[in-house]
Amino acid sequence: MKLFYAPGACSLSPHIVSREAGLPVELVKVDLKAKKYDGGGDYLKINAKGYVPVLQLDSGQVLTEGPAIVQYLADQKPDARLAPKNGSFERYQLQEWLNFITSELHKGFSPLFKPNTPDEYKRISRENLSNRIEWLDKQLSGKDYLMGKTFSVADAYAFTVLSWSKPLQFDLSRWANVAAYLARVGARPKVQEALRSEGLLKQAA
């Protein structure tokens, strides 16, 4: 399998999941501005939507959306317990989390990265994000991870998106449960491996 990624982008989520599951995945770095991937290939021929992640299977089949990719990866190694069993109520709860992250957090942060987003719209986006994170903070009360005591693919996605708060100077310290959650997930050995691999975490001296 190949995972097409850009450092620190939402593709970090399936990158983390692949390591947590112990799945051998070849990483292919993408230049999102040039729409080229390592080796000079045309990325738009891999994904006409032009963004990451993309998971290309050995068969040549392709998946292009993060929430679908992380569930696919989890299902390849069910013993890793990164997603509840298909058909169970808990699996639908996982999908509920993935939908919340993609629609309310991921897309909430997106306008803040764009230089042409009007300042007033950025202010509104920050307010909306604050409301969503306030709700998330309450959900995390007394819990290690989004689904309880067990790390899941939703945590890989939430960690990735919430980590964007740092470069955007969006202070999360006022939400104690969220801040502790980010530190907890970030300390996981496989998460650290993924961060180092993408150049997002300096090697220890």
pLDDT recorded at residue 205:
32
Predicted confidence (pLDDT) per residue in 2-28, tens digit: 999 999 999 999 999 999 999 999 999
Q: Quickly state the pLDDT bin for 204 (edges 50, 70, 90).
A: very low
The sign of the CA dihedral 161, 167, 169, 175 is: positive
The order of strands in the sheet holding 36-37 is: 41-42, 36-37, 26-31, 2-5, 54-56, 62-63
pLDDT recorded at residue 201:
83
Closest CA to 136 of 170, 91, 169, 104: 104
| Residue 7 φ/ψ region, left for φ over 0, alpha for ψ in the -120 to 50 degree band, beta for the rest | beta
CB 57 within 8 A of CB 65: no
Question: Rounded distance, CA 97 to CA 122, Å?
Answer: 24
Is the residue at 203 inside a domain?
no
Q: DSSP per residue over 58-85, as a string?
A: TTS-EE--HHHHHHHHHHH-GGG-SSPP
Predicted confidence (pLDDT) per residue in 23-56, tens digit: 999 999 999 999 999 998 999 999 999 999 999 9
pLDDT recorded at residue 104:
97
What is the token pair recorded at 98? 């993935």
Residues 57 and 133 placed together within one structural domain of the fold: no
Is the residue at 202 inside a domain?
no
Residues 136 and 102 placed together within one structural domain of the fold: yes
Q: Specify the amino acid at residue 153.
A: V
181-194 mean pLDDT: 98
Residues spanned by the domain of 178:
89-188
Q: DSSP per residue over 158-173, as a string?
A: HHHHHGGGTTTT---T
Question: Rounded distance, CA 160 to CA 163, Å?
Answer: 5
Residues 107 and 175 placed together within one structural domain of the fold: yes
> What residues are paired with 42 via a beta bridge?
36
The domain spanning residue 117 has which CATH number?
1.20.1050.10
Question: Rounded distance, CA 49 to CA 27, Å?
Answer: 19
61-67 mean pLDDT: 98
Residue 154 neighbours by CB distance under 10 Å: 26
Predicted confidence (pLDDT) per residue in 76-135, tens digit: 999 999 999 999 999 999 999 999 999 999 999 999 999 999 999 999 999 999 999 999
Residues 77 and 93 placed together within one structural domain of the fold: no
